[in-house]
Amino acid sequence: MLLRELTLVDRDGVRRGDLRVADGELVAVGDLDPRDDEVVADLAGKFALPGLVDAHVHFSLSGERTVDDVVDMTDAELALVEARNARKTLEAGVTGVRAMGARDIDVQLRDRVAAGDVPGPRAVANCRSITATGGHGHHLGREITGPNDARRAVREQAKLGAEFIKFMVTGGVTTPGTDPDEVALTDDELDALVDEAHRRGMHTSTHAHGAAGVTAAVQAGVDTVEHGTFLDEEAIEVMLAEDVTLVPTLSAPYHIVRNVDAATADVRRKTEHVYERHIESFRRAVEAGVRVAGGTDAGTPFNMHGANAAEIEFMSEYGMSPLEAIEAMTATAAEVVGLEGQGTLEAGTHADLLLCDADPTSDPTALNDPALVLKGGEVVGGSDRESRTAFERAGASGSATARAVRSGLD
Ligand SMILES: [Zn+2]
């Protein structure tokens, strides 16, 4: 199938172009002429981006005020909730995610999505986040005390199918009794976590608010820093020196601040302190040249699955150009989390596309309500019914032709 007359938008910039889709992949990109009998979709006026890649989502959470409601769910309930959240994410134009884990459900979901059993984005997933005993996220995490226990915890996650390891180097906003500024894991524990993960070819990610925690985790060799709320000069310097990626998750405090009356008192108190500093921190990191991958922390209080594209708007508002923010939440995110064949409009990648009606490099909010979303060349979302119907009809006639050809050969 040939998608014609598009304006292509990816890390290489904005330009006119056509896309040829076959067997779920982009097989050619550029100024293309239709082949004999090729199904053609004329999409003049549409802007095409690679499907978004969200480097930080929680399918286990659904924007609840507190995680208490989730902790009591059975595995079966949680699996169904996760499947719903994955579908919403995909329909909104996110075709790749790093799923931050809960029990071992995200890895099962990843596999079922890959097998085509349930709709969802392609995923890199882990199991339980690793945290100090009583530390941030302990309700759904794996609590550790000591470096040997740290190694054991990493091995347990690997055994369950985790592809990366996430740990909590500081306290968090949503866990009562933990302090976002305090370093919660010892250097020995951090070294053990990172070493054990890297031995198994897994990358490591740390939840980190306070600067001392960021610095400690980076010195232990962590690969991505989530939030980076209170970065200071030293933390930014070590991140640059060690080539560490920041996943700023600006969506997380944004939604809490806007729903502050409904938040718990503990969350409210911590977020007031957090939000302005978080934006300032992000701005300084961008100015200093720290690599940024877009991630929303979707699922945290009032931060709903399917609103992921707003992170691009926030990143463009606070220091990046819209095109840089798009790159952060497509090519860079895919590269950093290890999703291959995604995040760019290049031949040989998955035909995972987000189409919108306005230029997202002048108005990033155009991404919030995509006209059409494709995954592997199939329509999986989008609010533009007309092009959706036209596309599905074209797709159906394409496969009917293929069937006719095959039955003729039999
Ligand atoms: Zn998170």
Amino acid at 158: A
Q: Which tops the pLDDT comparison, 162 or 399?
A: 162
What separation in Å is there between the alpha carbon of 394 and the centre of ligand 1? 40
Q: E-strand spans in 40-181?
A: 40-42, 47-50, 52-57, 94-99, 122-125, 130-132, 142-144, 164-168
- The closest alpha carbon to 60, from 93, 21, 15, 107, belongs to 107
pLDDT on residue 384: 86
Could you read off the pLDDT of 193-209 as tens digits, one per residue? 999 999 999 999 999 99
Mean pLDDT of 273-294: 94
381 vs 370: CA distance, rounded Å:
8
**CA R_g for the chain:** 21
Q: Which of 172-176, 194-198, 259-263, 381-385 shows the lowest mean pLDDT across its residues? A: 259-263
What separation in Å is there between the alpha carbon of 18 and the centre of ligand 1? 37
Mean pLDDT of 245-256: 93
| Residue 391 pLDDT > 80 | no
What separation in Å is there between the alpha carbon of 45 and the centre of ligand 1? 37
Residue owning tokens 């890390």: 11
What separation in Å is there between the alpha carbon of 103 and the centre of ligand 1? 15
Q: Tokens standing for 119?
A: 């709709």
Q: What angle do CA 195, 210, 146 make, to 5 degrees?
A: 40
Amino acid at 365: T
292 vs 337: CA distance, rounded Å:
12
| Residue 294 pLDDT > 50 | yes
The b/e string for 388-403 (b: 16+ C-beta within 10 A; e otherwise) is: beebeebbeebeeeee
What separation in Å is there between the alpha carbon of 208 and the centre of ligand 1? 10
What separation in Å is there between the alpha carbon of 249 and the centre of ligand 1? 8
Could you read off the pLDDT of 115-136 as tens digits, one per residue? 999 999 999 999 999 999 999 9
209 vs 183: CA distance, rounded Å:
9
What separation in Å is there between the alpha carbon of 139 and the centre of ligand 1? 13
Give the SS3 label for residue 227: strand
272 vs 256: CA distance, rounded Å:
9
What separation in Å is there between the alpha carbon of 395 and the centre of ligand 1? 38
pLDDT band at 338 (very low <50, low <70, confident <90, very high): very high
Order across the sheet with 245-247: list the strands: 142-144, 130-132, 164-168, 203-210, 224-230, 245-247
pLDDT on residue 84: 98
What separation in Å is there between the alpha carbon of 128 and the centre of ligand 1? 12
What separation in Å is there between the alpha carbon of 388 and the centre of ligand 1? 33
Share of the chain above pLDDT 70, in %: 95
Give the SS3 label for residue 135: coil
What mean pLDDT, rounded, does the chain reach? 92
| Residue 271 pLDDT > 80 | no
| Residue 293 pLDDT > 90 | yes
- Cβ burial of 200 (10 Å; 0-12, 13-18, 19+) is middle
Amino acid at 334: A
| Residue 175 pLDDT > 90 | no
pLDDT band at 396 (very low <50, low <70, confident <90, very high): low
What separation in Å is there between the alpha carbon of 271 and the centre of ligand 1? 15
Domains (ranges, CATH) in the chain?
A: 2-49+344-409 (2.30.40.10), 52-337 (3.20.20.140)
What separation in Å is there between the alpha carbon of 254 and the centre of ligand 1? 14
Calculate the alpha carbon distances from 136 to 7, 49, 133, 142, 219 in Å: 44, 36, 9, 10, 21
pLDDT band at 403 (very low <50, low <70, confident <90, very high): very low
What separation in Å is there between the alpha carbon of 390 and the centre of ligand 1? 38
Q: Which tops the pLDDT comparison, 387 or 242?
A: 242
